[in-house]
Amino acid sequence: QVQLVESGGGLVQPGGSLRLSCTASESIFATNVMGWYRQAPGKQRELVATIAPGGRTNYADSAKGRFTISRDNAKNTVYLQMNSLKPEDTAVYYCNADKVVAGGRYTRWGQGTQVTVSS
């Protein structure tokens, strides 16, 4: 069952901007660390940014200074504002919800949204 729904991907020129959105159920959004990951062709999935329920954020080095993750608790939505996009940012971007539970971590994934940066 799809529990995280991403949107906002598309084609953009180098130097441009996109804002990705991920909407979750209230039960997931309120109790999970939310994040964005990406997977480029030929590469494994990698962390982009995360944000905890209290607002604390974490970024991959490649995202620092260019990307901003935020969350709107009223809308159960997490955003990834991407500025100064580069061709190497081209990937499928996945929304993630992560929670430590009894027995280990419980991770949920969206189905992804394509971001293509090309001139």
Residues 32-90 have pLDDT tens digits of 999 999 999 999 999 999 999 989 999 999 999 999 999 999 999 999 999 999 999 99
Predicted confidence band of residue 2 (pLDDT cuts 50, 70, 90)? low
What does the pLDDT read at residue 3? 85
pLDDT-above-70 percentage for the chain: 98
Strands 113-117 and 10-12: parallel
Cβ proximity of 91 and 40 under 8 Å? yes
What does the pLDDT read at residue 62? 96
Cα–Cα distances (Å) from 25 to 3, 8, 29, 30, in that order, read: 7, 18, 6, 9
Residue 8, phi-psi category: left (phi > 0), alpha (psi -120 to 50), beta (remainder): left
User: In terms of Cα–Cα distance, which of 98, 118, 93, 94 is closest to 108?
Assistant: 98
Q: Who's near 95: CB < 8 A, 6+ residues apart? A: 4, 5, 6, 20, 22, 24, 34, 35, 36, 78, 109, 110
Predicted confidence band of residue 100 (pLDDT cuts 50, 70, 90)? confident
